[in-house]
Amino acid sequence: MVVAAYRRRNPRAGVLHRVITENLRTFIDLADARGRGLPKYVRMAFGKFLECGDLTRGFARVHCPKCGLDGVVAFSCKARGLCTSCDARRMADTAAWLIDEVIPEVPVRQWVLSVPYRVRFALARDAKLLTKALTIFVSEVFRDVRRRTRPAPGAAPKHKGRRRRVQPGAVTGVQRFGGALNLNVHFHTILLDGVFEDGRFHEAPPPTDEDVVRVLLRSRKRIERMLVKEGILADEEPAEAGEPMELFQAASIQGLVALSNEVKGVTILGADLNGGPDLKPKRLCAQRKGYPPSPTVGGENQDHAGAGTAASWRDRLRRDHHSVFLGDGAGGQRARGGEDEGGRPQGA
């Protein structure tokens, strides 16, 4: 058996490392000139990233007693959201833990919710608001899967005289970025596609397009009502941001250059600058006015007919879902809660 030799990565050779090294000082000075400057945690994240994998900042010496090979391994920053090496390791570890220890061998379905600019801006700035929005979305997905697993009309109830007690389950990865590395707070929820009742799992019928629309509309209504209650105006625009961090967030959400004397969009390499977005309707996806540019709730069955054995199911889940917990979204939230048919919580 041939074992691949360890090759130390060279972080200084990466494009991101070079860009930050060459422009960080200018970026910090421009931010300082606009107000309070960058928050301390942002400066620390940049500093840790530049030191990650640098032997001059510390290393561990390793020795193999069998072959006598000696080597050194540089210390890593273990930071979130910026270091691609540490994020990738955390992503793989989280996915492996979920598959091996958390998610049972039952059908699963992925649900995704993205929100409009004004809501993204609010959720990006306030972790408590983000948690409340996520709780609303997951509760609506749970409501949908409970409804889809109800006994057919006319069927004899299993437990006469008491409410049906079921327990759904889900794990959510909160992602804060889009395909262009723009600020785009959205939720990826891996849902057990069914419910547990009396210790047995009952698989739900596949959702319809109408089910997805219902989840979107209810989630939107409740999230916007929550934001109004919390004092977030419905017509708040990110462009009104004042402090540098808010300015950068607002510009990133809208795809604009933050530090510019004129309003101009960010050029995305490889994008079709002349073509518009693909607005063709897709199955199990919903878009509604008031949630631009593309607020969607989507479900893609990850255990459809022909999925094969439990082993192949886990291999596919590991391959397809590890990216849900990439980067800042690695702080996934496990949401498990049972409710009776009246919507009353029965524990977590």
pLDDT at position 167: 92
Q: Kindly state whether residue 1 falls inside one of the protein's structural domains.
A: no
Domain that holds residue 225: 84-151+165-340
Among residues 220, 145, 170, the alpha carbon closest in space to that of 324 is found at 170
Cis preceding-peptide flag for 293 (omega within 30 of 0): yes
Domain end residue (candidates: 21, 45, 74):
74
Q: How far apart are CA 73 and CA 66, in angstroms?
A: 19
Q: Give the C-alpha distances (Å, rounded to integers) separating 31 from 26, 193, 222, 310.
A: 9, 47, 36, 52
pLDDT, average across residues 61-71: 87
- Domain match, 173 and 312 both: yes
Q: Kindly state whether residue 157 falls inside one of the protein's structural domains.
A: no
Q: Contact at 8 Å (CB) between 209 and 284?
A: yes
- Domain match, 241 and 98 both: yes
pLDDT at position 232: 81
Say yes or no to pLDDT of 327 above 90. no
- Domain match, 283 and 170 both: yes
Q: Contact at 8 Å (CB) between 173 and 188?
A: yes
DSSP for residue 99? I
- Domain match, 66 and 114 both: no
- Domain match, 66 and 123 both: no
pLDDT, average across residues 319-337: 45
- Domain match, 88 and 224 both: yes
- Domain match, 52 and 90 both: no
What phi and psi values does residue 112 have, to the nearest 5 degrees?
-130, 135
- Domain match, 70 and 214 both: no
Which residue did the predictor score with more confidence, 274 or 208? 208
Q: How far apart are CA 230 and CA 68, in angstroms?
A: 63
Tens-digit pLDDT profile for residues 215-248: 999 999 999 999 999 988 554 454 455 678 888 8
pLDDT, average across residues 112-134: 90
Q: How far apart are CA 62 and CA 70, in angstroms?
A: 6
Q: How far apart are CA 189 and CA 330, in angstroms?
A: 13
- Domain match, 89 and 53 both: no
pLDDT, average across residues 149-172: 73
Q: How far apart are CA 211 and CA 88, in angstroms?
A: 34
pLDDT at position 125: 87
Q: How many CB atoms sit inside 10 A of residue 49's CB?
A: 23
Residue 312 pLDDT class (50, 70, 90 cuts): very low
Copy the structure tokens of residue 197.
Answer: 């009742």
Residue 174, beta-bridge partner list: 187
For the chain, what is the domain count?
2
Rank 70-84, 138-152, 283-297 by mean pLDDT and report only the highest. Answer: 138-152
Type of residue at 99: I
Q: Kindly state whether residue 302 falls inside one of the protein's structural domains.
A: yes
Say yes or no to pLDDT of 52 above 90. yes
Q: How far apart are CA 246 and CA 248, in angstroms?
A: 5
Mean pLDDT of the chain: 76
Q: Kindly state whether residue 41 falls inside one of the protein's structural domains.
A: yes
Q: Kindly state whether residue 94 falls inside one of the protein's structural domains.
A: yes
Give the percent of the chain with pLDDT over 70.
70
Q: Kindly state whether residue 159 falls inside one of the protein's structural domains.
A: no
Say yes or no to pLDDT of 301 above 50. no
pLDDT at position 160: 58
- Domain match, 117 and 68 both: no
Domain end residue (candidates: 23, 54, 74):
74
Which residue did the predictor score with more confidence, 94 or 7? 94
Domain end residue (candidates: 50, 74, 98):
74
- Domain match, 321 and 238 both: yes
- Among 94-108, 147-161, 167-181, 276-290, which is the least confidently predicted range? 276-290
Q: Kindly state whether residue 4 falls inside one of the protein's structural domains.
A: no
Q: Kindly state whether residue 156 falls inside one of the protein's structural domains.
A: no
- Domain match, 66 and 96 both: no
